[in-house]
Amino acid sequence: MTLRVALSAGHHNNDGGSPLEKTLTGPLCKAYADAFRAAGADVRVITPNDGLGMFPGGLRKVAQKVVDWSKNDGWTADIFLETHTEGVSNTNVRGVFSIYPDWGSDVDQTVKNELGLKIATAISDVSGIPVREGGVLFGPGVMSRMETEVGSHGDRLGIFLVTAELAATTTRLIVEHGAHSSPKDLAILQTPGMLAKIAGAAVKVICDHFGSSVIAPIEPVIQINGFFLGHGFLDYWRQLDIQGLPHPLGLPKSEEQPWTNPEKKQLTIQVFERGVLSFDADEPDPVFRVQGLIIGPDWGKNHGVDFKQHH
């Protein structure tokens, strides 16, 4: 099956939200879009520019897009996911969790009893952000809309009210990817490459849940700065790119080349202006076969890469 996915970036609309949270939810949304597409899913992102832009309207209008696609286009999402991070006054509160609807008879049992915790656990495993502790009505890693204490006109509640008519066909949830008010969670979320890892782990869980096991399409090879960039390296490089900001890796400065790491592991690497990408063909999980390394000025000397020849 081809999984249909609707995505939106939390607070990238007219309904308030922390400026700090917006710097995280937009790139998170884009990372999810990239990861779902790499898995072969049919993805529609409500927030402009795959989540990096701003939607011209409130959250209810954001959610209405999912309903309109179903009514007008015959495109009914299997899952509608909105990216968020939590903000609370207590900086010791941290953790990742999923929020599900519980308005009257509209209770998403799938998210409540299975998928929500699986997503939270997968994100925790790759990031080190703990799974949020449970409360009175919810277990670890999940929270009902009711227990968020967001009122009937609250920003987050809107997506559930508007999309209630799709409850029988569409799994709807909000994922809180840690707390931006926690210095520990924030530091992890701002680590280069981390959002792509988080999205990749969550997407794998979601695709497995829906039985959407699709081989990722091969990326084209393009030429940048006089060097070829393609496949997993190109996909990872694009995931790190945030429009309007300097690219954390910069431009490529070498072709792909073999390298033996200090543990005698044979890898393929590609050198960039401010970092190196490595490919491990033996990594069982395709999400983690490509890894990024931020390097210092002595990296090339210590590892047999002549940076000067690439200037």
Residue 61 lies in a domain: yes
Give 47-73 pLDDT, tens digit per residue: 999 999 999 998 889 999 999 999 999
85: left (phi over 0), alpha (psi -120 to 50) or beta: beta
- Measuring CA to CA, how many Å separate 60 from each of 46, 80, 81, 189? 12, 14, 14, 27
pLDDT score, position 248: 85
Residue 295 lies in a domain: yes
Q: Are residues 85 and 171 in the same domain?
A: yes
Q: What percentage of the chain carries pLDDT values higher than 70?
A: 83
Q: Are residues 249 and 138 in the same domain?
A: no
Domain boundary among 210, 231, 258: 210
Residue 217 lies in a domain: no
**Torsion over CA of 257, 262, 266 and 272, rounded to 10 degrees?**
-30
d(CA 270, CA 254): 6
Domain span including residue 251: 222-310
Domain count, the chain: 2
Residue 265 lies in a domain: yes
Please measure the distance between the N-terminal and C-terminal CA atoms of the chain and give it in whole angstroms: 47
The model's pTM is 0.68
Q: Are residues 58 and 162 in the same domain?
A: yes
Which letter does DSSP use for residue 221 in this model?
A: P
Give 234-265 pLDDT, tens digit per residue: 888 888 887 778 888 889 988 888 888 777 77
Domain boundary among 187, 210, 233: 210
Give the pairing type, strands 171-179 and 266-271.
Answer: unpaired
pLDDT score, position 213: 44
Q: What percentage of the chain carries pLDDT values higher than 90?
A: 46
Q: Are residues 227 and 161 in the same domain?
A: no
Q: Are residues 112 and 150 in the same domain?
A: yes
Residue 215 lies in a domain: no
Residue 232 lies in a domain: yes
Give 157-210 pLDDT, tens digit per residue: 678 888 989 999 999 999 999 999 999 999 999 998 899 999 999 999 999 898
And the tokens for 292?
């990024």
d(CA 275, CA 302): 14
